[in-house]
């Protein structure tokens, strides 16, 4: 049975800590409740906002509609062979907690994505990634509910059309499906460890730890904690912008003027630029206007120091985009969903 509430503060449900209200609010914990919801008059008559971990959105005002909080839970492990296992996680599971659980099972593949905020169900929508590893690299399939056809569907990797921070669920199928569970194919032994991206190798040497999925995860966590603020202390949504991808020609043009520019190969014909470096070089690192600001340790992170409105953070993000384009002729795209 569904329980609808009215005028509910969304402050506890978004990592920016923005105290906007939802006109209507309902929690979904079972797949059968999802089927019930789509037949309800409130769902048919109101604008709908689907809410997972609340880590990838910026609320710019009250939501005059129905907010659906997805709270599916559960994990399962299925051994496929000596070398591999399938691991299923429900869409409402916290991503970092799930990653740590796989490591405790000695399953390799997700360790580089430790401490990424959000839930499992939203992870494939954005094809999350960090330190040289993307979700698609270990993705098997997912289960989703089609809101138009009111039927269940399974998506394999090809059907998801993954790209850099992109999938079919952010493109032509945006808003059509609700992801309720995801399967990952992980290694049981002879783990392939990625330590060649960012500062992982240097952090491992600093830690003096033996190389393992556990130590790589610990190194990633240490790096992220040294740069990224805890949302429980300072409201934020992690990386606000995507790292822009430019052609090799544009990259060569840029490094003539900025030889210290941080960039990584993105295929044979493109380079991925570090958005944080661009923002910092444009002079925004540590900037603050009232309670909206740019984090002092990581320019890629916009923060709410306590009393900022979402509209103020949005205005700041647009000013940064204009500044970076004016300086480098490179367009920054928001990674966060602005609502």
Phi then psi dihedrals of residue 63, to 5 deg: -100, 110
Phi then psi dihedrals of residue 323, to 5 deg: -65, -45
Tell how strand 63-70 and strand 48-51 pair up. parallel
Q: Which burial class, exposed, middle or buried, applies to 174 when counting CB atoms under 10 A from its CB (0-12, 13-18, 19+)?
A: exposed
Q: Contact 121/7 with Cβ under 8 angstroms?
A: no
Q: How far apart are CA 136 and CA 115, in angstroms?
A: 18
- The DSSP line for 17-53 is ----EEEEEEEE-SHHHHHHHTTSHHHHHS-EEEESS
Tell how strand 133-134 and strand 129-130 pair up. antiparallel
Token digits of residue 113: 């994505």
| Catalytic residue numbers, as ranges | 165, 239, 335
| Nearest of 130, 124, 117 to residue 16 by alpha carbon | 117
Tell how strand 48-51 and strand 5-9 pair up. unpaired
């Amino acid at each position: 049975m569904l329980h609808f509430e009215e005028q509910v503060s969304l402050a506890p449900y978004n990592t920016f800590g923005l105290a906007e209200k939802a006109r209507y609010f309902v929690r979904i914990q079972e797949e059968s409740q999802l089927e019930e919801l789509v037949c309800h008059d409130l769902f048919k008559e109101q604008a709908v906002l689907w809410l997972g971990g609340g880590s990838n959105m910026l609320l710019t005002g009250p939501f005059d509609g129905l907010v659906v909080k997805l709270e599916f839970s559960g994990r399962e492990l299925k051994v496929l062979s000596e070398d591999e296992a399938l691991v299923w996680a429900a869409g409402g599971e916290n991503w970092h907690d799930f990653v740590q659980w796989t490591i405790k099972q000695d399953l390799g593949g997700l360790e580089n994505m430790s401490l990424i905020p959000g839930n499992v169900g939203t992870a494939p929508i954005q094809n999350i990634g960090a330190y040289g590893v993307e979700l698609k690299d270990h993705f098997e399939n997912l289960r989703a509910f089609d809101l138009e056809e009111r039927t269940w569907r399974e998506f394999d990797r090809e059907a998801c059309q993954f790209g850099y921070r992109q999938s079919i669920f952010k493109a032509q199928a945006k808003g059509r499906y609700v992801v309720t569970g995801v399967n990952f194919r992980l290694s049981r032994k002879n783990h392939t460890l990625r330590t060649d991206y960012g500062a992982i190798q240097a952090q491992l040497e600093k830690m003096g730890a033996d190389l393992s999925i556990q130590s790589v995860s610990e190194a990633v966590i240490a790096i992220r904690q040294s740069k990224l603020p805890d949302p429980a202390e300072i409201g934020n949504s992690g990386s606000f912008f995507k790292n822009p991808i430019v052609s090799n020609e544009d990259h060569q043009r840029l490094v003539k003027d900025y030889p210290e520019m941080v960039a990584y190969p993105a295929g044979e014909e493109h380079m991925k630029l570090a958005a944080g470096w661009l923002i910092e070089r444009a002079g925004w690192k540590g900037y603050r206007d009232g309670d909206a600001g740019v984090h002092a340790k990581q320019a890629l992170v916009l923060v709410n120091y306590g009393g900022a409105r979402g509209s103020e953070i949005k205005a700041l993000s647009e000013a940064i985009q204009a500044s970076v384009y004016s300086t480098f002729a490179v367009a920054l795209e928001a990674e966060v969903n602005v609502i």
